[in-house]
Amino acid sequence: MQYQFGIHMRGGVITERNPDLSTVRVRAPAGLLTAEQLRGIARIAKKYGTGVVHCTTRQTIEIPHVDPAKLKRMAVQLEKNGTPVGSEKDEVVNIIACPGIERCKFANIDTGSLAKKLDKSLFGKAMPVKMRIAISGCPNACMSPMLNEIGIIGRIRPIRTPGLCTGCGSCVYYCKESAIMIRNGISELSDDKCVQCGMCVKSCSFNLLKSLHTHYLITVGGRRGRHPKVGRELLTVETEEQVLFAVDRIIDWVYRRAWSGRLLSEQLDELEFSTFREEMLKSVPKSEAAGLAKNPPK
């Protein structure tokens, strides 16, 4: 159970500039809310706040200007609405995700399904540091996953069907990285430039570019704020189950070893991230992890 203390101490209850008022943040994994839940939030905001809500950068909703004396009753109503009090302190906070393959033509993975599974197992877990998890369906990285403590990016490694390429150039036109060129009437891919977005696969009119496999790149230790920092690449995995396993191991590693009062990004070397990465590469049984072990990301 994530909450073992009173309503006033929950991470989703934030003291405002005026200390006599609180802002209440709700739990909304991947920012997905039903119309009924939105109506419920509107009713609760009118009853316990001023009728105004604020959409946050972490895909959730805050209800500002709440009298702390009303917090217990408000929390009960939010729970019944399916949008309980959220998380914001040193814990696993609201997990964010792009629309994924449900709606986005660029996406490679089902971000919503993954976000809900991670939320169910990890949301609100007390941690020595704040843990933000962001999921992007492709390397366009709309959710800035590499600027979060844990980032997950869906990727596709393209492979050309040998002997059948017509040299039409569609893949060259759609590749934003200039990673493909036509030579002697055949497309050639530069692995050094390819970010594995999968656009070339989607653009091939003759269906001759295939996905070798769809996979998830996992990064650790990113941060936003006044001194943003890109997270370090940990490994890639090929299934949701392997992502859940890897993220659970990261959370356990941070929980057991990190220090409070400092961002995770500031501790990675002291926590021996390289050693942890090697242990992860051995513990996740998959061919892609073995490939990364031979060619570790920079």
User: Is residue 67 domain-resident?
Assistant: yes
Do both 21 and 123 map to the same domain?
A: no
Tell me how many domains the chain contains.
2
136, β-bridge pairs = 153
Residues 28 and 146 in one domain: no
Last residue of a domain, one of 80, 111, 138: 80
Indicate whether 266 and 218 sit together in one domain: yes
What is the rounded CA–CA span in Å between residue 114 and residue 109?
9
Neighbouring residues of 285: CB distance < 8 A, sequence distance ≥ 6: none
Residue 131 has pLDDT above 50, yes or no: yes
User: Are the C-beta atoms of residues 70 and 45 closer than 8 Å to each other?
Assistant: no
In terms of C-beta distances under 8 Å and separation of at least 24 residues, what long-range contacts does 189-194 make, across chains too? 189/158, 189/160, 194/158
Do 119 and 267 share a domain, yes or no?
yes
* Distance from the first to the final alpha carbon of the chain: 38
Q: Are residues 224 and 151 in the same domain?
A: yes
Is 86 part of a structural domain of the chain? no
pTM of the model: 0.90
Mean pLDDT of 145-158: 96
Residues 284 and 141 in one domain: yes
241 phi and psi angles, rounded to 5 deg: -60, -40
Q: Quick check: is 161 in a domain?
A: no
State the pLDDT at residue 285: 64
State the pLDDT at residue 166.
Answer: 84
Give the start-end residues of each E strand in the chain: 13-15, 22-25, 54-55, 61-66, 96-97, 133-136, 150-160, 180-183, 186-189, 209-220, 232-237
Confidence of residue 286 (pLDDT cuts 50, 70, 90): low
Residue 117 buriedness (CB in 10 A; 0-12 / 13-18 / 19+): middle
Which residues have C-beta within 8 Å of that of residue 39, sequence separation ≥ 6?
Answer: none
On whether residue 90 sits in a domain, the answer given is: no
What is the distance between the alpha carbons of residues 268 and 145, in angstroms, rounded to a whole number?
17
Same structural domain, 105 and 65: no
Asked if the structure places residue 200 within a domain, the reply is: no
Q: Are both 129 and 34 inside the same structural domain? A: no
Look at residue 168 and tell me if it is in a domain.
Answer: no
Pair 221, 288 in one domain: yes
- Do residue 140 and residue 223 come from a single domain? yes
- Residues 117, 236, single domain; the answer is yes
In a domain, 272, yes or no: yes
Residue 41 is part of a domain; what is its CATH number? 3.30.70.3340
Domain of 221, in residue numbers: 96-156+213-294
Are 147 and 228 in contact by the 8 Å Cβ rule? The answer is: yes
For residues 136 and 35, state if they share a domain.
no
Residue 102 is part of a domain; what is its CATH number? 3.30.413.10
Q: Is the pLDDT of residue 4 over 50?
A: no
Model confidence pLDDT, tens digit, residues 226-277:
999 999 999 999 999 999 999 999 999 999 999 999 999 999 999 999 999 9
**83-128 per-position pLDDT tens digit:** 999 999 999 999 999 999 999 999 999 999 999 999 999 999 999 9
Q: Residue 133 is encoded by which pair of tokens?
A: 């998890």
